[in-house]
Structure 1
């Protein structure tokens, strides 16, 4: 998939911008706080329908009533089929999305064919709280499996309702039993789908890490479930495991007034040579693991969807050493449309890029 054009009006610090990027490697350079990351945010927003930063209403340019974004993506596996996205957000955060002119078609947003974002704070995927690792699974990988994404949304709604009743102490009401049944059912289905997704993903991450770090270090990943599992991971057995866990932890949930187990509380731990990376990993090793996660994500999108994703690198390329830079650039060369933001424009980056754009105060100029 490639982004063919992007048209912005009153977006962040951009008053108006029409841009037709190269289908290869696009480097976006300029001083800090001039709008480089804003361009990546606009691509992400038109591709997936939400921002990777703050609230939707924050994208509206200061002093404006609304922002509008129009983007055209091309699906390469579908004989060049175009997907046109028109998105508006007003100052109150009300958002409208049209896909090829039609509303209520957000499941057809082009991001489901792959948008991979690598940003500086992604190092927190490894060392940060469990929520960061769950977000990576659910947001970054989840779009590969539309059924998983839909089940996850339903499960989250059930958890909210169930927690509300737990806080009120109404666990013996008939309505709580209804939400309980849905909590067990959707929790088991989400977990089954998540296991299937990670079973495909983990071997790719290991392979990518070996390509980055060599054979001297063995990466392993372990899923930590808050539900005591019997080991059999089909839906029927997982449902039984959830029901048993619910009965076992009923008093704890009544005391804490919240759902204390389920996919929304689970975690993943990364090991290098059987040592927990959170405590023993160096910065270089952590960067290598995150790079392996992102490149494995690219491989999984291509294998499952038959499309190469759009790759967004927000001020991270210069954080990688030369070996890791070379590994990444060789992977994307001639295959993946890539957008790289950087304040430091080296001769090497210029040689590797297909286009270089200079951003200053929301104005773009192509460097010759």
Structure 2
């Protein structure tokens, strides 16, 4: 899959630009706070239908009524044209090949992978970061899983509101309990199935990055006591048993105390928890392996080469990890890499260079590699 063209109008700090990237590695450079991340955000929205920042309506340029994003993707030999309109009040309209459509059908769900400095906190951050990585990064490839997550979160919200409010009717609570057991078990079942395909890829890739003397293992920590069966019926039964045993405690504490929204993953390096015993370099290698495995998983499940968006992460990695990442995405992958300086180690892999300044974009090409200054301090 490739992005052929992107037109932006009144998007963040861009008044209007027309961007036609290379199908290989595109470096987006320039001083800080000039629009590099905004460009990646625009690519992400054009493919996924939502922003990786807080609110979609924030993309509308200050003083404008709406933002317009027009993009053209190459997918399985045919062209997919996308037109997205985002108004200042948050209203959003999506057209795919001229027909109004839902964001679940956008081409980005075949694989747009975002890698940001915040991802380096997946390992040592709170459990919510690891759950979000599963649900919104890895899980984005599976439309059924995406929909289940949305429904499950709605159910948890209603159930917690009932528990906090108190004084509810028993038949009302029973209805939300049944929904909670059903969707909670379904999310858990699909999440475990997804991770069974994903974890071995992470383990193998980490061995390539760090060497075979370091053995990485990952374990899913369920907040519900499950029998270990992968049968959906058994998991539902386990959920019901857990729910009945914890109902009084939940009523007392006024919150849902178990379920996929409270689960976690632990990462073990030579049988030691990396959060407590891992070096900074080891943690970064694990995160790099997570992203590389995500790329491989998307390739296998969709049959497409995913588009890679790397937002200012190169300088967070040492030279060896930079080389591994660039070699990984070189070849058939289209990539967009933002950076204030271009490491010499990756220069031979770059296909096109763009310079962004004050919401304008200018192609610089290979010949400018020697002339692009170190902009980190500007």
> TM-score with structure 2 length normalisation?
0.94
Q: After superposition, what is the alpha-carbon deviation per residue over 1:245-271, rounded to whole angstroms, capped at 9, x for unaligned?
A: 111111111112111110111110111
Paired residue for 2:313? 316
The yes-or-no answer on 1:359 pairing with 2:365 is no
Distance in 1 between residues matched to 2:167 and 2:120, nearest whole Å: 41
Q: Shift of residue 349 of structure 1?
A: 3.2
Q: After superposition, what is the alpha-carbon deviation per residue over 1:116-141, rounded to whole angstroms, capped at 9, x for unaligned?
A: 11100111111111110000000011
Contact between 1:170 and 1:176, CA under 8 Å: does it hold in 2?
no
Paired residue for 1:5? 5
Q: Bigger shift: 270-279 or 343-352? A: 343-352
Q: Shift of residue 105 of structure 1?
A: 2.6
Q: Shift of residue 236 of structure 1?
A: 0.6
Distance in 1 between residues matched to 2:205 and 2:187, nearest whole Å: 26
Indicate how the Cα distance of structure 1 residues 170 and 184 shifts in structure 2: closer, same or farther if over 3 A, else same. Answer: farther
Q: Which aligned pairs between 1:260-299 and structure 2 lie closer than 5 A?
A: 260-299=257-296
Paired residue for 1:71? 71
Q: Which aligned pairs between 1:1-368 and structure 2 lie closer than 5 A?
A: 1-75=1-75, 78=76, 80-170=77-167, 172-368=169-365
Distance in 2 between residues matched to 1:290 and 1:42, nearest whole Å: 24
Aligned residues: CA RMSD: 1.2
Q: Shift of residue 64 of structure 1?
A: 1.2
Q: After superposition, what is the alpha-carbon deviation per residue over 1:197-229, rounded to whole angstroms, capped at 9, x for unaligned?
A: 000000000011011101111111111101011
Q: After superposition, what is the alpha-carbon deviation per residue over 1:262-298, rounded to whole angstroms, capped at 9, x for unaligned?
A: 0111110111111111111111111111100000000
Distance in 2 between residues matched to 1:349 and 1:12, nearest whole Å: 29
Distance in 1 between residues matched to 2:235 and 2:168, nearest whole Å: 23
Distance in 1 between residues matched to 2:300 and 2:212, nearest whole Å: 24
**1:293 partner SS:** helix
Q: Shift of residue 233 of structure 1?
A: 2.0
Distance in 2 between residues matched to 1:202 and 1:2, nearest whole Å: 27
Distance in 1 between residues matched to 2:322 and 2:353, nearest whole Å: 18
Distance in 2 between residues matched to 1:82 and 1:210, nearest whole Å: 38
**1:127 partner SS:** coil
Q: Shift of residue 232 of structure 1?
A: 0.9
Distance in 2 between residues matched to 1:152 and 1:55, nearest whole Å: 19
Distance in 2 between residues matched to 1:349 and 1:30, nearest whole Å: 17
Q: Shift of residue 178 of structure 1?
A: 1.0
Runs of 4+ in structure 1 deviating by more than 6 angstroms, as ranges, are none
Distance in 2 between residues matched to 1:172 and 1:226, nearest whole Å: 27
Distance in 1 between residues matched to 2:202 and 2:218, nearest whole Å: 9
**1:220 partner SS:** strand
> TM-score with structure 1 length normalisation?
0.97
Contact between 1:171 and 1:177, CA under 8 Å: does it hold in 2?
no
Distance in 2 between residues matched to 1:111 and 1:135, nearest whole Å: 18
Q: Shift of residue 347 of structure 1?
A: 3.5
Q: Shift of residue 172 of structure 1?
A: 4.5
Distance in 2 between residues matched to 1:349 and 1:327, nearest whole Å: 10
Paired residue for 2:375? none
Q: Which runs of 5+ in 1 are unaligned?
A: none
